[in-house]
Structure 1
Amino acid sequence: MNSSQLRLCLILLCTTQFVALLDFSITMIPLPQIQESLGFTPGALQWVINAYGVVIAGFLLLGGRAADMFGRRRVFLLGLVIFTLGSLLGGFSQSPAMLIITRAVQGFGAALFSPAAFSLLLAVFPEQKQRNRALGAWTAVAASGFVAGLILGGIITDLLGWRWVLWINVPVGVFVIALTGLLPEGRPDSESAVKSLDVWGAILVAAGAATLVFAFANSEHVGLTSLTTLGLIVLSLMLLALFVWVESQVESPLMPIPIFWRRLTGGANLVSLLANTALGPTFVVVALYMQEILGFTATQAGLGLLPMAAAFTLSSAWAGPALIAKVDTKPVILGGMVLFIAGLALLGLSLAADASWAASILPGTLLAGIGYGIAFPAWTVAGIEGVDAVDHGLAGGMLTTTQEIGSAVGLAIGVAISIAALAGGDSAAQGFSYAILVSAGMVVIGLVCAALILPGKTTTLGTVQ
């Protein structure tokens, strides 16, 4: 390929990753408008986000394995078609069920094309220097996708209506589909072609995560401490335990269990899971607080979240890696999480019905964004350190899976806490405050786990190839 063709391939692949991250955040802002338009209950509203995240979490590793087995370009194209159709149909939704189903379809499509796009990127840029530049562009675009979703979600909703936050994907998807033939085929190697596809593993982890989310979402009808809620939580844990058993039995598991027994890898994934129970809920709760309590428009709410998103993006790009290079992953994780907890606690204690954005939101979200941004690259490095190079993609996929599951479960818990507070006679602002403080408590547990489980002096950023 000449330089122009390489540049076009990079643009196509980065565009899909941008859209995958954008679609996670772009629906956070118009949640009040979606609720009013389709008649969502407060507890069910979270499924607009969680249907997408849970399905990605359940099928991301399966998508990566399918790309290796059946050809990367083929799976990339299939995922992109599914995602684009889900976006188109989702914009026409006339009921909560239809929107939730189409969001799940979008998530399944993204779970197919995202790992295939990453593999294609490595195939297009085999030379190390070019590959590093391409991976830098990939990372930067992915981070900007989440931030762009917050801004575009508000602007599009105010100008065109919430349905266009889904329809905006359609022309982008059609454009990339039309040019997919320019990408290398990415044929499967002989070893991957003979492996079996662990479909049951993907179904079990997705079902376990979805059941756990549903347990908290359904608590608005039956109560947070009811037997039904507790029974669903037990059922979800049984499904996840069955997933672990299946993974220990099948020939080609999605998640090889022995990797998790390593203190560094298993500990990093546990920290990722617990820390992300706070990140997603914080964005959603603050977006709802600004619109429902402070009276912000959708555009103002998106801009109001920008400082936290920018702090997270800049800290993860520069501050975190710089600290890892100087010290080690464990102290960076611990320090970042302490700042994250402090920011969440400040935010949770500041939310009030008569507060201003500058006083109630800005200080806490900035500190939380900086803390999370510092810790995020450190546990990412820890999660792949000591893993064989051939399994780096798998280790990265595992971190993404725990991140998505943590965010989905954390959002479900936060919404359940808010609803329970309202049912108990507290104000909406107090309910939002309790949700943030509970999230801070989950990160405290993650901090303790990091301190006890992660080994000291393991790596620096410069040793990771």
Structure 2
Amino acid sequence: MAEPSTNTGAGASSGEASGAGVWLVLVVACAAEFMVVLDASVVNVALPTIEASLDFSPAGLQWVVTSYALIFAGFLLLGGRLADLYGRRRVFLAGLAVFTVASGVGGLATTPAMLIVARGLQALGAAVLAPASLTLLTTTFDEGPRRVRALAIWTALASAGGAAGSLLGGVLTEYLSWRATLLINLPIGALALVLAARALTGAHADTPASTADEPPAGRRLDVPGAVAATVGLVALTFAVSGAEERGWSSATTLGALAVAAAGLAVFVVDEGWWSRSPLVPLRLFRLRAITLGNAAMLLAGVCLMPMWYFLSLYMQQGLGLSALLTGLGFLPHTLITVAVGAWLAPRLMGRVPARTLLAAGCLIGAAGFWWQSCIDLTDTYLTGVLGPAVAISIGGGLLNTPLTTIVTSGVTDDDAGAASGLMNTTKQIGGALGLAALLTVATTTTTGNLEDPRQLVAGFAVAFEVMAGLLMLVAVLAAALPAPRPQVGVR
């Protein structure tokens, strides 16, 4: 059966501008995505200081991280569709403003409840901001080498955000205060708002998407679908993020999974049969790039996102490094990923098919994870982390750009936000599911006492082996992805 049309609609809705204004859009979009990813991890190193400063209970402290993860994952699909319906400029600026103000409130928090609520509001802004930033790129740059270059920079900075969060969190907490990990977003967000207000002008940024066969009255927010998706995704994230502590067979976990299944089932029915303006039109899944690309994104997220958690604990509890040194230990991951993803990958995509480059990146990353699985308590940072870091970062840098390009290709401007929200949701759910599943693997293959460094290393070694196997599976899946149209090399 023939694939649906891959017309991007750019010529009708936006065209592709040229000059400094277009690249200012790229700067704004990348800055927003970097802040979103950074804040998912920047407070991790500061948690012990936060606990003492605000008198958190041990059970309550986890919600500083969990509240962000739950709301971010739950509202991504809704955030993605908002940009299609109400205009990319308006939605982007609103998300950025909410995120920035919430960061300030969190940095000035005087009680645990105030900080947790602020983190939740941060995540709400982030859930709007992340898909909107990607939508800006896919509707500003037509498919071709300029879009590849823009997406390469965007994905590289997004990948580096997690590592930068650990490094920046350690430095700010060590030399200033845990509050600085949140307050630093105020000047960055204010500058981004000023630049965004200047850069996001013109039809491609200000006007809600439209289609020839859908009147303005039909462009309504799918409230039932939004509620069902949000309830389902929040329940799923809650279930898997706490399953290691509560147990997979606990009533709380099973109840949350049941709510998740019901919410997502209602969402699918609503999208396919009830809604006249669905959050994620099911027609998108007739595109192999969307269906198989998001499957690959899910599996890659299972590996590349939990990696930061396992390596952070290994360096601190296995190698005995301080929080600051652990943050510095992620520098190779950050620098190599950015260099390969932003500079090398788009140049190679001018000469090598995207799916071939994706497969090569997966195999290199898989080799790095297998190397990382050889960890031992007798290792040092140089022997146990640095070598695998080079291979994992090269692989991640090579696979992220072609995968993001494939998953966002062949989509009209009217559905760009929906596709962006779906991609971000897939990645986040992959990370959440992956961390829960890999922690279960790590504990069930040992005595379960990961506080013992020997058991921790043994369990983490098995987790890294599983990551290697999953990336090899993504390499196989890459062969089934559609071949994008030939491109002129990016200089």
User: Normalised by the size of structure 2, how large is the TM-score?
Assistant: 0.78
Aligned to 1:307: 332
Counterpart residue type for residue 207 of structure 2: R
Farther-moved stretch of structure 1 (79-88 vs 142-151): 142-151
Q: Secondary structure in 2 aligned to 1:377? A: helix
Aligned to 1:297: 322
The Cα of 1:166 is off from its aligned counterpart by 0.8
Are 2:280 and 1:255 aligned?
Answer: yes
The Cα of 1:160 is off from its aligned counterpart by 1.3
Aligned to 1:359: 383
Aligned to 2:226: 202
Farther-moved stretch of structure 1 (33-42 vs 129-138): 129-138
1:155-177, CA deviations, whole angstroms, 9 ceiling, x for partnerless residues?
11111122211111123334444
Counterpart residue type for residue 187 of structure 1: T
1:179-198 alignment runs, 5 A limit: 181-182=197-198, 183-184=200-201, 186-188=206-208, 193-194=216-217, 195-198=219-222
Contact 1:268–1:382 under 8 Å retained in 2 = yes
Contact 2:356–2:478 under 8 Å retained in 1 = no
Q: Please list every run of 5 or more consecutive structure 2 residues that lacks an aligned counterpart in the other structure.
A: 1-16
Are 2:76 and 1:60 aligned?
Answer: yes
Find 1:244's aligned residue among 268, 276, 282.
268
Question: What is the CA–CA distance in structure 2 between the aligned matches of 1:311 and 1:376, rounded to whole Å?
Answer: 13
The Cα of 1:424 is off from its aligned counterpart by 3.3
Question: What is the CA–CA distance in structure 2 between the aligned matches of 1:318 and 1:394, rounded to whole Å?
Answer: 28
Are 2:293 and 1:273 aligned?
Answer: no
Counterpart residue type for residue 331 of structure 2: L
1:85-104 alignment runs, 5 A limit: 85-93=101-109, 98-104=114-120
1:155-194 alignment runs, 5 A limit: 155-177=171-193, 181-182=197-198, 183-184=200-201, 186-188=206-208, 193-194=216-217
Give the direction of change, closer, same or farther, for the CA distance of 1:255–1:428 in structure 2 (3 Å limit): farther
1:143-154 alignment runs, 5 A limit: 145-154=161-170
Aligned to 1:347: 372
| More RCO (CA 8 Å, sep 6+) | 2
Aligned to 2:462: 437
Question: What is the CA–CA distance in structure 1 between the aligned matches of 2:461 and 2:269, rounded to whole Å?
Answer: 34
The Cα of 1:407 is off from its aligned counterpart by 1.5
Q: Please list every run of 5 or more consecutive structure 1 residues that lacks an aligned counterpart in the other structure.
A: none
Find 1:218's aligned residue among 225, 242, 245.
242
Farther-moved stretch of structure 1 (326-335 vs 251-260): 326-335
Question: What is the CA–CA distance in structure 2 between the aligned matches of 1:460 and 1:44, rounded to whole Å?
Answer: 49
The Cα of 1:72 is off from its aligned counterpart by 3.5
Farther-moved stretch of structure 1 (214-223 vs 147-156): 214-223
1:193-232, CA deviations, whole angstroms, 9 ceiling, x for partnerless residues?
4311123333433333332332244335543444553453
1:254-307, CA deviations, whole angstroms, 9 ceiling, x for partnerless residues?
222232244342111011111111212111221233233433233211110111
Question: What is the CA–CA distance in structure 2 between the aligned matches of 1:177 and 1:171, rounded to whole Å?
Answer: 10
Question: What is the CA–CA distance in structure 1 between the aligned matches of 2:47 and 2:227, rounded to whole Å?
Answer: 28
Contact 1:83–1:110 under 8 Å retained in 2 = yes
Give the direction of change, closer, same or farther, for the CA distance of 1:361–1:446 in structure 2 (3 Å limit): closer
Q: Secondary structure in 2 aligned to 1:251? A: coil
1:227-254, CA deviations, whole angstroms, 9 ceiling, x for partnerless residues?
5534533443343333222221212222
Question: What is the CA–CA distance in structure 2 between the aligned matches of 1:147 and 1:162, rounded to whole Å?
Answer: 17
Aligned to 1:74: 90
1:381-431, CA deviations, whole angstroms, 9 ceiling, x for partnerless residues?
332344456545543432222112211222333455566678734544333
User: Normalised by the size of structure 1, how large is the TM-score?
Assistant: 0.82
Percent of pairs identical after alignment? 34
Q: Secondary structure in 1 aligned to 2:373? A: helix
Question: What is the CA–CA distance in structure 2 between the aligned matches of 1:88 and 1:423, rounded to whole Å?
Answer: 43
1:376-415 alignment runs, 5 A limit: 376-388=400-412, 391-415=415-439
Question: What is the CA–CA distance in structure 1 between the aligned matches of 2:301 and 2:57, rounded to whole Å?
Answer: 25
